[in-house]
A = this chain, B = another copy of it.
Amino acid sequence: MRYLDAEAIENIAVGAAFLGTGGGGDPYIGKMMALSAIENNGPVQLLSPEEVEDDDFFIPAAMMGAPSVMIEKFPNGNEFVRVFEKLGRYLGKETIRGTFPMEAGGVNSMIPIVVAAQMGIPLIDCDSMGRAFPELQMATFNLHGMSATPMAITDEKGNIGIMETIDNKWTERLARVQTVEMGASAMVSIYPATGRQLKDYGIHNIITLSEEIGKVIRGTYENEQEKMTALLEVTNGFQLFQGKIIDVKREIKGGFNFGRVKISGLNDNLGDEAVIHFQNENLVAEKNGVPIAMTPDLICMVDLETLAPVTTEALKYGKRVQVMGLIADSDWRTEIGIETVGPKYFGYDLEYVPIETLVAKEDK
């Protein structure tokens, strides 16, 4: 158990945006909201999943929809107080012991901090993705047979819905059409979980990992190379490509940000071209037409000089970036994991190949 102060929040916001693999929203507004929430309500208690009671009951707080819209409709936390109360009553659970993030991301790592501060409940150090993914069934909870419902959905206007669906794909379908109707972004509380379920099926330590990554990115080092070395060490990651953005295609469709970015190589990659395809999150990275990383492994873009994470909505012509790759949580690399979030699910005609295999092939 420890408390998150302003410095911790600054680090988490940046590190979570890195793990958000382009999605999960810009960290700036979320961070400001979280800082203001702890200024008003005091620091937030962070518990590891091991520290909670098995029978206690937890509800996550997240936004779904297009990140580019999300950041314009950031919740002030009150919305979730109402949602938690309604959902808790519907579930017959009077006491909600804490909240947690559904995914790592600039917005979705900050919202649970705001809610925890406002409600005076602890934040649990786990999520259900270990990164960010665009759809609700893309959760380790789902892989382990947990139901996403009863869930609650609400908007900034005050509309609220509670749903029970026959499976988690239907949760996604029905929540998605409401999200689009609500203006391409909505607040959701899905996969209400017991302490036991957080222990068994959550991805532990995600907030602490985000914080460590943020510390490196915000830290001062002798030179860029040293900083990159520290970042590779803390993330166990790979450097995939360096270059300058020469083209961005983007559209909001069905409550998602779809698009792809073209990067012209610099330094070691001079003469090469990379293309990264995204649906909210970066999903497939190609170099000269050949895949070099693919979902569920993490494709993270950072500023070439500062290593600050670059989200998909911040992509623009001329920006110099470093593409990095991280190994996905082992849950995502199982057969059902690949079926749920592998390249084929997203419509790419690719067999999943682990990033370490692709990198080893590159190096030959």
Contacts and interface: CB of A to CB of B under 8 A. Distances in A.
Nearest first, the 6 closest Cβ-Cβ pairs linking A and B are A177-B177, A161-B163, A177-B181, A158-B166, A159-B165, A162-B162
Contact size range, A: 20 to 34
A188 to B, nearest CB: 13
A174 B164 contact: no
A96 B166 CA distance: 26
A161 B181 contact: no
Interface of A: 86, 90, 157-166, 170, 173-174, 177-178, 180-182
Contact of A163 (B160, B165, B166): B160
A174 B161 contact: yes
Contacts of A90: 90, 162
Nearest to A157: B166
Nearest to A179: B177
A90 B178 CA distance: 21
A189 to B, nearest CB: 14
Contacts of A178: 174, 177-178
A154 to B, nearest CB: 9
Contacts of A180: 177
A177 B178 CA distance: 7
Nearest to A82: B164
A174 B162 contact: no
Nearest to A180: B177
A170 B163 CA distance: 17
A180 B180 CA distance: 13
A174 B157 CA distance: 13
A161 B86 CA distance: 13
Contact of A174 (B86, B165, B173, B181): B181
A256 to B, nearest CB: 16
